[in-house]
Structure 1
Amino acid sequence: MIKFFRKLRWSSLSRKRIPKYLLYATGEILLVVIGILIALQVNDWNENLKNDNKEQLILKDLHLEFQKNKEKLQSVIQHHQEIVDATTQVLNLVGQPEAAILQHNIDSLLYITIDHYDFSPNESAISELISSGKLNLITSDNLRLLIFEWVSAVEEKTEGYETMDEMSQTLTLPYITKNGSMKDIDQFGIVKIGHSKFEAVNYKLFKEREFENHMDNQVWGVTNYLLKLKRLEIIINDIVRFTNTETPTQK
């Protein structure tokens, strides 16, 4: 087509037909411009297709990662809710008559009150997404916002756990170690070496105001930690929903 315009152009010049030459020259330029625009459009289309494919892979990785985190988190939440329930039961027994206290397996209850652990989510996919700068490949504004909220919520969760653990390690456990029997308590955990050969004394803790204060601090710390975990649960549920490639992604 361009050769055709060139022949017409030279023919017009040879015949001194300047207006026609300009017309043909303009047509030639338009063809070149149109060709460039088409090439750019095809390139953009190919690039968008590549980005769409990359986004789908990212969504699948995030979906799988957060599905697993959801299952793990639900287990951690249930465990710490049991700690709250056991600690509440201990607090209700504090100050009760000795006979009422001994009707319960207080060593088992005490073990549950101190048996906390941290929720450590798998963040390989989300960390790679952020560090690689691929976050802009996610077209959903809501999902990008959820990812930032997740990072912030994990930091708050860690602070909540550290607060709870510090109170337990520096206050509750030293008090029980000094005034009670850790061996009697530990037999309900992973260390199963039987009762202490000394006189059972843990029931006496329930007569002390200081013990009540420690248990109150304990239940506050665990409850505070649970609130952080439940915020994570809400975010996880939303991320799982937004990364479900089988349903339309909400923007």
Structure 2
Amino acid sequence: MIKFFRKIRIQLLSENKFTKYLLYAIGEIILVVVGILIALQIDTWNDQRKTKIAEEKFFKNILLDLEKDSEKLKYYNHFHAKRIEYLDTLLVYVRNPKRSMGIEKFGKYAEPLYYSVNPTIYSRTFESAKTMGAFNNFKGKELLKDLSQYYADFVLIENSFSSITRFVESQFEPLMNTLPEGYMTENTGDLVINEENVQEFYDKVASIKDNRAINYDYERILRTPSFENYIIGDMGRTYNALGKIKVRQELLNRLKNRIEQK
């Protein structure tokens, strides 16, 4: 092709057809420019195609992460709803001194309060894309902004859950430490909700026979004003956690719907 154009140029010059040569040269320049523009457009289309594929893959993986988050939030909701149920039961007995709870029932309802939740978030897809700078070429800017806020707000869940944990450690455990734990049986953990199986722990404790003659004065703890204060404080923190969980679930569902409708 280059030899062909060169041959035409030489022929025009040799025939002293300068005007035609000039027009030809301009035409050749235009042809080259058009070729470059087409090549650039093809590159642009190719880059846009790759970006679109990357963006679609990103949101597909985000949906998978949000689904995992959703399952976790369901667990957190169940955990804290049952915690309120146990606290409510204990408060009923605290405020009704004529009702006898019994050490076994007291142990079953008090034992779950030792447990709290360490929240987990599935943000690897988002953080990886953010670190690689992939968002710069994505079109869904508003959706990305809302996703960014969703992951940033996870700290609200963390703070709420850690507040319960600190309260357990600073208030509940010191109160319960005044009661010997020889009353524990393999059934003490029946109401415990935990992601890991803790039954082996209760079986182990129950397998060691307690030959002490101990009066398990749980009534003393029930009648202690600080125990009522603890129950109410824990209940307030737990309701706060449930509120944070509900808000996050609603936001998660809105994000999922928007991504699925893209």
Pair 1:149 & 2:149 matched: yes
Note the aligned Cα RMSD (angstroms). 2.9
Matched residue, 1:127: 127
Deviations 1:40-99 (A, max 9, x none): 111111111112222222222222222122112211211111102221232233231232
Pair 1:220 & 2:236 matched: yes
Q: Is the alpha carbon distance of 1:153 and 1:109 closer, same or farther for their aligned partners in structure 2, counting shifts above 3 Å?
A: same
In the alignment, the residues of structure 2 paired with residue 100 and residue 138 of structure 1 have an alpha-carbon distance, to the nearest angstrom, of: 64
Using the TM superposition, give the Cα deviation of residue 149 of structure 1 relative to its aligned residue in structure 2, in angstroms: 1.4
Stretches of structure 2 lacking an aligned partner (at least 5 in a row): 190-197
In the alignment, the residues of structure 2 paired with residue 164 and residue 200 of structure 1 have an alpha-carbon distance, to the nearest angstrom, of: 27
Deviations 1:212-245 (A, max 9, x none): 111112112222222332333233323433443x
What secondary structure, in the 3-state scheme, does the structure 2 residue paired with 1:200 have? Answer: coil
Question: 2:89 corresponds to which letter in structure 1?
Answer: Q
Once the two structures are superposed, the pairs formed by residues 227-246 of structure 1 within 5 Å of their partners are 227-244=243-260
Contact map agreement 1:160 1:224 (CA 8 A) in 2: yes
Contact map agreement 2:94 2:228 (CA 8 A) in 1: yes
In the alignment, the residues of structure 1 paired with residue 30 and residue 165 of structure 2 have an alpha-carbon distance, to the nearest angstrom, of: 73
Deviations 1:8-59 (A, max 9, x none): 6555545555443332222111111110010011111111111222222222
Matched residue, 1:33: 33
In the alignment, the residues of structure 2 paired with residue 103 and residue 161 of structure 1 have an alpha-carbon distance, to the nearest angstrom, of: 29
Match of 1:208 among 224, 229, 238: 224
What secondary structure, in the 3-state scheme, does the structure 2 residue paired with 1:77 have? Answer: helix
In the alignment, the residues of structure 2 paired with residue 34 and residue 184 of structure 1 have an alpha-carbon distance, to the nearest angstrom, of: 89
Deviating more after overlay: 209-218 vs 8-17: 8-17
Once the two structures are superposed, the pairs formed by residues 101-120 of structure 1 within 5 Å of their partners are 101-102=101-102, 105-120=105-120
Contact map agreement 1:98 1:203 (CA 8 A) in 2: no
* Structure 2 length-normalised TM: 0.79
* Structure 1 length-normalised TM: 0.82
The percent identity for this pair of structures is 23
Deviating more after overlay: 104-113 vs 94-103: 94-103
Question: 1:20 corresponds to which letter in structure 2?
Answer: K
Matched residue, 2:192: none
What secondary structure, in the 3-state scheme, does the structure 1 residue paired with 2:177 have? Answer: helix
In the alignment, the residues of structure 2 paired with residue 220 and residue 153 of structure 1 have an alpha-carbon distance, to the nearest angstrom, of: 21
Stretches of structure 1 lacking an aligned partner (at least 5 in a row): none
Question: 2:237 corresponds to which letter in structure 1?
Answer: G
Pair 1:199 & 2:215 matched: yes
Contact map agreement 1:5 1:27 (CA 8 A) in 2: no
How many residues of Structure 1 are paired with residues of Structure 2 in the alignment? 245
Matched residue, 2:80: 80
